[in-house]
A and B are shown apart, each in its own frame.
Chain A
Amino acid sequence: MIKFEDVSFKYSGENNKYILKDINLEIKKGEIVLITGASGCGKTTILRLINGLIPHYYEGDLEGNVTVNDKTVAENSIYSIGRDVGSVFQNPRSQFFNVDTTSELAFSLENQGVNKEKIKNKISSTVHNYNLYKLMDRNIFKLSGGEKQKIACASVSVADTDIVVLDEPSSNLDVASIDMLRKVISFWKKQGKTVVIVEHRIYFMRNIADRVLIMKDGKISEDIGHEDLNKFDEINTSDIGLRTWKSPEIDDKLVDINYNNESETYRVKNFKFLYNDKKHGIEIMDFSLFGGEIIALFGNNGAGKTTFCNCLCGLNKKFKGNLCKNGCNYRNKDRLKMCYMVMQDVNHQLFTESVLEEVLLSMRYDKRSDQEKKKSAEKILDGLSLSAYKDEHPMSLSGGQKQRVAIASAIASDREIIVLDEPTSGLDYGHMIQVSNLLKKLKEKNKTVIVVTHDIELINSCCDRIIRI
């Protein structure tokens, strides 16, 4: 069904660095294949070769031959490949062409010029199979991350391709939505579709995947077939740099939350907020914050975690809640100067032309002399192993480095409370551990660290307690 023969690939612009080297791979009809490995190992490139984005959209030097359903990908148009291969992408913000859900489901077939009645029939059976009644005719921009990914899977189902490729579909999903994803993939398996999925979070593919490929530096380093997958159960996946294969559980000792304590630094009070529709909103029990601890805020997609962050950081003007300390109330305006948020998309908060300037920008209200400021900025960068990049443009760095720059500016701003919104979405095991270590460093500096996440592995590796919302 899918065949790679001696395939090597190099993106144009990247001098002589082959992202894939001599790949030979054959995927049979109906096989569910999971591809995993550290970031940059070339797994996404494999998917792009299957759905035709390489060589038709992303340019580079392609050697060897990729065939899908006996069609050579390079010699067929991307549209004709698209009739055999459906794709689900990582980023829910950028994979929908339409603004409303129903049009998005119809989109593929409309482009193929299938007649109207046939498309409608396909849509209604898909809506039935996936129980999408509530999501029809909705504005995609107002769906939660999990709902978006459900629509993405459903639109692949409407197009009814034999092959489905998924590029890190779980990156932005909570535990419940990952479960939904698992059900969708098992449904495809029953239908006999061939599925190739690239993932860092692999536990949900256990018992579904027929085959696991582990990639390293552009090569398939291990190809574990069905019979051998049992052996995979016994090894500790973190030893080979992978996330857990067994479904992660939150550590028991974290669940025991101490809501009240004499030695609290701050108390979070009256965290109630209603959205404009006056029906939905957040309501969080009062709780204490202590200096030098890491708190995990854990909740489903759409539970209002981001709203909570915005409210806490004083970004939401209508919000009336408070942060208290010894009878002192800190209102929105005060909290804006006390909290620092490292956003999920760090690109939103990098403004200047060099990494050093970025850190200095956080110290602009600092009274020290420029010389001293520069010294302390360099020290912070050194602590986050960013010294080598201090003159680089922040936008030219890798995702992880950008995140560290954002954290560096958080440290430089000298705020007591640091909030991180989903710092590990889409990260492999190694990078997740790096983030975890960074959080511990912040804790050592006696900061109150609040991390909003659905990454249970991250929670277990560094958090002191957990608050569910």
Chain B
Amino acid sequence: MQNEIMLGESSSKLKLDPRTKLWLTFVISFVLIGAGMSWIEEIIKMILVLIPATLFIVEGKVKKGFFYVGLVFTGLCLEYYILAEVTGALNIVVLILSGTVNRLYPPIMMGMYTVSTTTVSEFTASMEKMRVSNKIIIPMSVMFRFFPTIADESRAINNAMKMRGITKIDMIRSPLVYLEYKMVPLLMSIVKIGDELSAASLTKGLGSDKKRTNICDIGIHFIDLFLIIVSLSAFVISIIY
């Protein structure tokens, strides 16, 4: 999953607007985590569960999509048929298991879809369309830029530590020293990279008072509209009930 966050390339086939994806992530989390067990809510849940699955399948990740659907349906079956039959500790186990799968897994899948199909500049473009201030957009895009950097640096430092014979045992024996060994080189190199990155970005005109443009083609299309209407109705119905 970490790798997917890093991916900058949007090879996405659907080209959903990032705003749609964010909205879907929000609705799916809100409805699934909060919903009760009446029949209409179950139908809403089913529909919402199928959205990320369909998106993954359209994206060509067929295996992932079906695995996820299978898992969630198993969870639902557990909740419906088994939960009422068992008692005591087993009941709690089944409850926790089905609850996690049904309620937490779909939002996670939707989040993964959003992150893995949105490039940083698409994200920036949509923030700009939502009229978010540059003071928030720039630090956020720098943050995205820094995730892979931190991962790279930290991997190299881990290797260096292994080579010096600094192991997990040291982490338990003297956690503070271990932390120092790890953090000092990491911070030093991130500060240095940050400094050079600011210099490079300034020469490319970042932060000038001119209004930025963005080459990303984002916008609400038919499919966005469709998904928004479906999820909005689900959202409204689940609030009323």
Residues of A at under 8 Å CB distance from B? 51-53, 56-58, 77-79, 82-83, 85-87, 89, 91, 93-100, 102-103, 106-116, 119-120, 123, 137-141, 155, 159, 310, 313, 315, 336-337, 339-341, 343, 345, 347-352, 361-362, 364-365, 395, 409, 413
A86–B204 CA distance with the chains assembled, in angstroms: 7
Q: A347 touching B185 by the CB < 8 A rule?
A: yes
- Beyond contacts A96-B145, A96-B200, A351-B181: 7 other A-B pairs, Cβ-Cβ < 8 A, are A85-B203, A97-B200, A99-B145, A102-B215, A120-B215, A341-B163, A351-B160
Kindly state the separation between the CA atoms of A313 and B164 in the bound complex, as whole angstroms.
11
Please determine whether A139 and B9 come into contact, CB atoms closer than 8 angstroms: yes
User: Once the chains bind, are A110 and B164 in contact (CB under 8 Å)?
Assistant: no
A445 CA / B20 CA spacing, docked (Å): 65
The answer to the question of B11 belonging to the interface, with a C-beta cut-off of 8 Å to chain A, is yes
In chain B, positions 1-44 with a C-beta closer than 8 Å to chain A are 6-11
A79 — which chain B residues lie within 8 A by C-beta?
A: 202, 205, 207-208, 210
Contacts of B145 in A (CB 8 A): 96-99
Asked if A97 and B7 make an inter-chain contact with CB atoms under 8 angstroms apart, the answer reads no
B123 shortest CB reach to chain A, Å: 10
Give the CA-CA distance A256 to B7 in the complex, in Å.
Answer: 43
How far, in angstroms, from A364 to B214 measured CA to CA in the complex?
55
Tell me the dominant secondary structure on chain A's binding face.
mixed
**Per-position binary interface string of chain B over residues 187-207, scored 1 when its CB falls under 8 Å from any chain A CB and 0 otherwise:** 011001110111111111111
Q: Are B156 and A52 in touch, CB under 8 angstroms?
A: no
Is B85 an interface residue when CB atoms closer than 8 A count as contact? Answer: no
Please indicate the chain A residues that have their CB under 8 angstroms from the CB of B202 in the complex. Answer: 53, 56-57, 78-79, 82
Q: Is the beta-carbon distance between A94 and B213 smaller than 8 angstroms?
A: no
In the complex, A341 Cα to B158 Cα: how many Å? 13
B212 in contact with A349 (CB, 8 Å) = no
Residues of B within 8 A of A119 (CB): 213, 215
A99 near B215 with CB under 8 A, answer: no
User: Chain B residues with Cβ under 8 A from A108's Cβ?
Assistant: 204-205
Closest to B193 in A: A94
Whether B164 contacts A362 by the Cβ 8 Å rule is: yes
A116–B8 CA distance with the chains assembled, in angstroms: 20
Residue from B7, B9, B208, B216 in contact with A111 in the complex, judged by beta carbons closer than 8 Å: B208
In the complex, chain B residues whose CB is within 8 Å of the CB of A98: 8, 120-121, 145
Contact A97 B204 (CB under 8 A): yes
A447 to B159: give the CA distance in the assembly, Å: 22
Instruction: Provide a sorted-by-A list of 5 A–B residue pairs whose CB atoms are within 8 angstroms.
Output: A98-B120, A115-B213, A139-B7, A352-B181, A362-B164
Residues of A within 8 A of B206 (CB): 97, 107, 111
B152 and A141 within 8 A (CB)? yes
What A residues does B215 contact at CB under 8 A?
A: 102-103, 106, 110, 116, 119-120, 123
Q: Is the CB of A93 within 8 A of B149?
A: yes
User: In the complex, are the beta carbons of A340 and B152 less than 8 A apart?
Assistant: no
| Binary contact track B212-229/A, C-beta < 8 Å → 1, others 0 | 111110000000000000
Chain B residues with CB under 8 A of A123: 215
Which residues does chain A contribute within 8 Å of B204, judged by CB atoms? 82, 87, 97, 107-108, 111, 155, 159
Identify A51's interface contact among B181, B196, B203, CB under 8 A. Answer: B203
Say whether B200 contacts A340, CB under 8 Å: no
* Chain A residues, Cβ within 8 Å of B160: 341, 343, 348-349, 351
A77–B201 CA distance with the chains assembled, in angstroms: 14
A91 (CB) vs chain B CBs: closest residue? B196
Which listed residue (A111, A115, A348, A351) contacts B153, Cβ 8 A?
A348
Contact of A99 among B8, B152, B189 (CB under 8 A): B8
B200 in contact with A87 (CB, 8 Å)? yes
Docked Cα-Cα span, A119 to B217, in Å, equals 13
Bound Cα distance A108, B207 (Å): 11
CB pair B9–A348 under 8 Å, yes or no, is no
In the complex formed, the residue of B with least CB distance to A83 is: B205
Question: Could you say which of A78, A89, A115, A337 has the most chain B C-beta atoms within 10 Å of its C-beta?
Answer: A78
Could you tell me the distance between the alpha carbons of A53 and B201 in the complex, rounded to whole angstroms? 11
Minimum CB–CB distance for B196 against chain A, Å = 4
Residue of A nearest to B147 (CB): A99
Q: Assess whether B212 is in contact with A350, with CB atoms less than 8 Å apart.
A: no
CB <8 Å contact, A99 and B181: no
User: Which residues 128-183 in B have Cβ within 8 Å of A in the complex?
Assistant: 141-142, 144-145, 148-149, 152-153, 156-157, 159-166, 180-181
A139 interface neighbour in B6, B185, B200, Cβ under 8 Å: B6
Q: CA A78 – CA B160 in complex, angstroms? A: 39
Residues of A within 8 Å of B166, CB to CB, are: 351
Kindly state the separation between the CA atoms of A234 and B193 in the bound complex, as whole angstroms. 41
Report yes or no: B203 in contact with A365, Cβ–Cβ below 8 A: no
Partner of B211, one of A57, A113, A336, A395: A113
Q: How far is the CA of A130 from the CA of B190 in the complex (A)?
A: 32
| A137-B9 contact, Cβ under 8 Å, with A99-B148, A114-B213, A351-B181 | yes
Which of B160, B196, B210 is packed against the most chain A CB atoms within 10 Å? B160
Say whether B89 faces chain A, with CB atoms less than 8 Å apart: no
Is B184 part of the contact surface with A, judged by Cβ < 8 Å?
yes
